[in-house]
């Protein structure tokens, strides 16, 4: 059977699932430990999502993939609230460390006790990508 390479600007949802499932299957073949999803939503009085956090964890590390607060709701402490809550939930689940990457919010994470452990300069162009971590307490 021959295979061809296709460069796509966007993937269909079903293609993303195939890739994610394949990666999960491969990872499990190397280790029995699986990443467990963890998410938080903030909704307004009408039920509209105005903030959220997505991440996952294994037995040792919590990874924060995304943290977002709608521009009209920023500066009200929602980001800090979500980070504190996810860290506490991770501790309840036996996880002792957290890490993430950021381009624009390094000061925010430093105020929460995160420290930089790696930097990729000029990624994206004109900015740096910071990798930060924290021992959870």
User: How does pLDDT run across 104-133, given as a tens digit for each residue?
Assistant: 999 999 999 999 999 999 999 999 999 999
Burial class (CB in 10 A: 0-12, 13-18, 19+), 101: middle
Rounded average pLDDT over 91-112: 98
pTM over 0.85: no
3-state DSSP of 49-99: EEEEEEEEECCCEEEEEEEEECHHHCCCCHHHHHHHHHHHHHHHCCCCEEE
User: How does pLDDT run across 45-72, given as a tens digit for each residue?
Assistant: 999 999 999 999 998 999 999 999 999 9
Strand partners, 133: 99, 115
Q: What is the mean pLDDT of the chain?
A: 94
pLDDT of residue 23: 85
Would you list the domain boundaries of the chain? 35-135
Q: What is the CATH number of domain 35-135?
A: 3.40.630.30
Q: What percent of the chain has pLDDT over 70?
A: 100
Gap between the Cα atoms of 8 and 14, Å rounded? 14
Residue 84 has pLDDT above 90, yes or no: yes
Gap between the Cα atoms of 71 and 68, Å rounded? 9
């Amino acid at each position: 059977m021959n295979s061809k390479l296709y460069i796509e600007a966007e993937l269909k949802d079903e293609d993303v699932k195939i890739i994610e499932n394949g990666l999960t299957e491969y990872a499990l073949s190397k280790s029995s430990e699986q990443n467990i999803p963890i998410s938080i939503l903030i909704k307004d009085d009408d039920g509209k999502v105005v903030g959220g956090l997505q991440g996952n964890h294994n037995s040792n590390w919590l990874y924060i993939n995304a943290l977002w607060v709608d521009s009209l709701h920023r500066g009200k402490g929602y980001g800090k609230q979500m980070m504190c809550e996810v860290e506490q939930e991770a501790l309840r689940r036996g996880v002792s460390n957290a890490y993430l990457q950021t381009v624009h919010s390094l000061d925010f994470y430093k105020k929460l006790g995160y420290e930089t452990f790696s930097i990729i300069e000029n990624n994206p162009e004109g900015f740096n990508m910071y990798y930060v971590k924290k021992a959870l307490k």
